[in-house]
Chain A
Amino acid sequence: MTAPVLEVRNLVKTFAVKGAFGRGRGIVRAVDDVSFSIGAGEVFGLAGESGSGKSTIARMVMGLSQPDSGDILIDGQSILGRGTSLAHRQQVQMVFQNPGASLNPRRTVGQSIRVPLDAHNFAGDRRARVGELLEMAQLPAHFADRFPHELSGGQKQRVAIARALAVEPRLLVLDEPTSALDVSVQSHVIELLEDLVAQLGLTYLFISHDLSLMRNFAQRVGILYLGKIVETGPVAPVFTAPQHDYTRLLLASVPVISAEEEALRPTIPMIDGDIPTAEQLLALRELSQTKEFKT
Chain B
Amino acid sequence: MTALLSVRNLDVSFTTYGRRTQVLRDVSIDVPEGAQIALVGESGSGKTVLMKTVMGILPQPPAKVEGGAILFDDRDLLTMPERDRLRLRGTAMSMVFQDPMSSLNPVFTIYDQLGTILKHADRRLGRQRGRRERWARVLEVLEQVRMREPERVARSFPMQLSGGMRQRILIAMALLSEPRLLIADEPGTALDVTTQAQILNLLRDLVTRQNLALLMITHNLGVVRETSTYTYVMNQGRIVEQAPTAEIFAAPREAYTRELIAAVPRLTGRAT
Contact B259 A184 (CB under 8 A): yes
Contact A250 B194 (CB under 8 A): yes
In the bound assembly, the distance between CA atoms of A50 and B223 in angstroms comes to: 18
Chain A 1-55 residues near chain B, CB threshold 8 A: 15, 17-18, 20-22, 26, 28, 47-52, 54-55
In the bound assembly, the distance between CA atoms of A62 and B218 in angstroms comes to: 30
Q: Is A254 an interface residue (CB 8 A)?
A: yes
Contact A255 B223 (CB under 8 A): yes
The stretch of B65-73, B83-91, B185-193 that contacts the partner chain: B185-193
Interchain nearest-CB distance for A129 vs B (Å): 23
Contact A249 B194 (CB under 8 A): yes
Contact A215 B99 (CB under 8 A): no
Chain B neighbourhood of A211, CB < 8 A: 193, 267
Contact A187 B165 (CB under 8 A): no
Chain A neighbourhood of B267, CB < 8 A: 211-212, 215, 239, 251, 254, 256, 261, 264-265
Contact B269 A216 (CB under 8 A): yes
The stretch of A82-90, A149-157, A160-168, A197-205 that contacts the partner chain: A149-157
Chain A 77-99 residues near chain B, CB threshold 8 A: 97-98
Q: Is B208 an interface residue (CB 8 A)?
A: no
Interchain nearest-CB distance for A151 vs B (Å): 8
Please list 30 pairs of residues, one from A and one from B, whose beta carbons are closer than 8 Å in the complex, sorted by A's number. Answer: A15-B160, A17-B152, A21-B151, A50-B164, A51-B161, A51-B165, A100-B99, A150-B14, A154-B43, A176-B189, A179-B190, A180-B98, A182-B40, A182-B41, A182-B260, A182-B263, A184-B259, A186-B219, A211-B193, A216-B265, A239-B267, A239-B269, A250-B193, A254-B193, A255-B196, A255-B222, A256-B222, A257-B222, A261-B268, A264-B267
Q: Which A residues contact B (CB, under 8 angstroms)?
A: 15, 17-18, 20-22, 26, 28, 47-52, 54-55, 97-98, 100-101, 145-146, 150-155, 158, 176, 179-187, 209-213, 215-217, 235-236, 239, 249-258, 260-261, 264-265, 274-275, 277-278
